[in-house]
Structure 1
Amino acid sequence: MSDLISAQGLSVRHGDTEVLHDIDFAISTGEIVTVVGPNGSGKSTLVRALIGLEPAARGKVHRKPKLRIGYVPQKLHVDASLPLSVRRFLSLPRRVSDAQAQAALERTGVSGLGARQIARLSGGQFQRVLLARALLSEPDILILDEATQGLDQPGTAAFYKLIEEVRAETGASVLMVSHDLHVVMSASDRVICLNGHVCCQGTPKVVAEAPEYRALFGMGTQGAFALYQHDHDHVHGTEPSDHATCSHEHSHSHV
């Protein structure tokens, strides 16, 4: 397996505040990796640093040459008074053909929305359109920064099931940032628990049982696995570790 993105000793500062410190991270071809952590733990900052939108104060980030990234941001505000159809939105900033746009909408389950105004979409429809737009670049890796914010539980579960289907069809890696512990944990090959530093990582099951994870999220999170079980197909050629990698260091950093 080759790493698409990796970080060694990464630290990021916002002014005088060290938001992230000593981050070692890598995501390989075909993986679904989820970053979880409490509010202020630096999750979005990590994603922005990995894709080059945040400078490193220390350490380095390496991206595979010519890496294609499909990015679904945490929030995207579209002026409700702006006449902008879904089809036109898909051609921003790079023009795509009608056939390409339709194929992307079909893949994300919203094939009939091309003529609909963006401002008239439901939350779930808008997230699927954002995903369709991200897929148009034929990404090597999809990065989703709390992409289900505002969706209800069934909508969230359906969206993450779609993400897994997209991974299976395209072979793209997926890096998700989320607070939706109930669904995301079991939809992942690997989970990274962040609190200013990587305090725990491993397979979903072992992370859920780790003391560092439970200290942040409580003891009741294991029941979440019943909601949506991910079929680990091990297509990547390696079996997941039975042990979480944990750090007992505590961080007081805040975003």
Structure 2
Amino acid sequence: MIDSPLIKLDHISLKRQQQSLLSDVSLSLIPRQIMTIIGPNGAGKSTLIKIALGLIKPDSGSIFRQANLRIGYMPQRLTLNPLMPLSVERFLTMASPSKQNIANALELTGISHLRKRPLHNISGGETQRVLLSRALLSDPNLLVLDEPAQGVDISGQTELYELINYLRDTLGCAVLMVSHDLHWVMAQTDTVICLNQHVCCHGHPEHVSNDPAYLSLFGRRHAEAVALYQHDHDHQHDIHGDVVCEHRHHD
């Protein structure tokens, strides 16, 4: 049985000041699927996300959202006045008054210990986990993540993408994500959309990384490096990215 899409965009186009931002873009996301939008700067990735969220209206095309769709949105970055005395808990309370919901979200993202910490006194990786916690407060069946590893070091990126995969498996939600971190994304994504105002190519990461349109945008050397990083997940991870069990078969 084929799952009905949670969200579907058909032939979306958008212009601003006679400049085409998106042209005839379509995508369809089903439950529990991780879909990642990649592409160069200015490709329209964040614009497409905002259209999917209903924040921007396209010039043409249609958008379908499932009737019971609950979306958790994580923006690229958090900009706050450093002089504002705002704790992690207080920040999350602005999105949900339920202390139990906040506690659950912080536990899922592995940062319960930061609950009382000031927001301006935590690391970049911790800040991204706070934003991810905020996205979880709506009990989403669709997580929309715009550059979730923004400002996070390489080690933190690995843990964060493992966490996103863990949340998909644990909550049963779908994930629509924008990212520049091709090495990490290609190892964790079910479907990739390569965008450059239009859809250059799409499909399974292995298929996309060998597509001429992808190679034209990112270069063969980079594609080969990404291919080396890809691996089959025959094991599971906890929220910190550590392997918790393995089932390996040796020749």
**TM-score normalised to the size of structure 1?**
0.87
Retained in 1: the 8 A contact 2:186–2:230?
Answer: no
1:61 positional shift: 1.0
Residue 205 (structure 1) aligned with residue 206 (structure 2): yes
In the TM superposition, structure 1's runs of 4+ consecutive aligned residues that sit over 6 Å from their partners are none
1:1-255 map, 5 Å: 1-97=3-99, 99-220=100-221, 221-227=223-229, 229=231, 231=233
Q: Distance in 2 between matches of 1:53 and 1:229?
A: 36
Structure 1: which 5+ residue stretches go unaligned? 234-255
Q: Distance in 2 between matches of 1:232 and 1:26?
A: 27
Retained in 2: the 8 A contact 1:73–1:146?
Answer: yes
Letter of the 2:102 counterpart: A
Letter of the 1:133 counterpart: R
1:129 positional shift: 0.9
Retained in 2: the 8 A contact 1:44–1:177?
Answer: yes
% identical equivalent positions:
43
Retained in 1: the 8 A contact 2:96–2:102?
Answer: no
Q: Distance in 1 between matches of 2:79 and 2:230?
A: 30
Letter of the 1:159 counterpart: L
Retained in 2: the 8 A contact 1:6–1:61?
Answer: yes
**Counterpart position of 1:240:** none
1:228 positional shift: 6.0
Retained in 1: the 8 A contact 2:168–2:174?
Answer: yes
**Counterpart position of 1:239:** none
Letter of the 2:218 counterpart: F
Q: Distance in 2 between matches of 1:65 and 1:34?
A: 23
Please give the per-residue CA displacement for 1:70-118, whole angstroms capped at 9, x wherever unaligned: 0000122011110111011111133122x22122111101110000001
Of 223-232 and 206-215, more deviation after overlay is shown by 223-232
**Structure 2 counterpart SS, 1:209:** coil
Retained in 2: the 8 A contact 1:157–1:228?
Answer: no
Retained in 1: the 8 A contact 2:95–2:137?
Answer: no
Please give the per-residue CA displacement for 1:127-152, whole angstroms capped at 9, x wherever unaligned: 01111111111101001001111111
Name the CA shift for 1:130/1:190 in 2 (closer, same or farther; >3 Å).
same
Retained in 2: the 8 A contact 1:188–1:230?
Answer: no
Please give the per-residue CA displacement for 1:159-207, whole angstroms capped at 9, x wherever unaligned: 0000000000000000110111111111100100000000100100010
**TM-score normalised to the size of structure 2?**
0.89
**Counterpart position of 1:237:** none
Name the CA shift for 1:230/1:96 in 2 (closer, same or farther; >3 Å).
farther
Name the CA shift for 1:110/1:47 in 2 (closer, same or farther; >3 Å).
same
CA RMSD, 1 decimal: 1.5
Count of residues in correspondence between the two structures: 232
Retained in 1: the 8 A contact 2:209–2:227?
Answer: no
Letter of the 1:87 counterpart: E
Name the CA shift for 1:226/1:102 in 2 (closer, same or farther; >3 Å).
farther
Q: Distance in 1 between matches of 2:14 and 2:234?
A: 33
Q: Distance in 2 between matches of 1:130 and 1:25?
A: 25
Of 57-66 and 172-181, more deviation after overlay is shown by 57-66
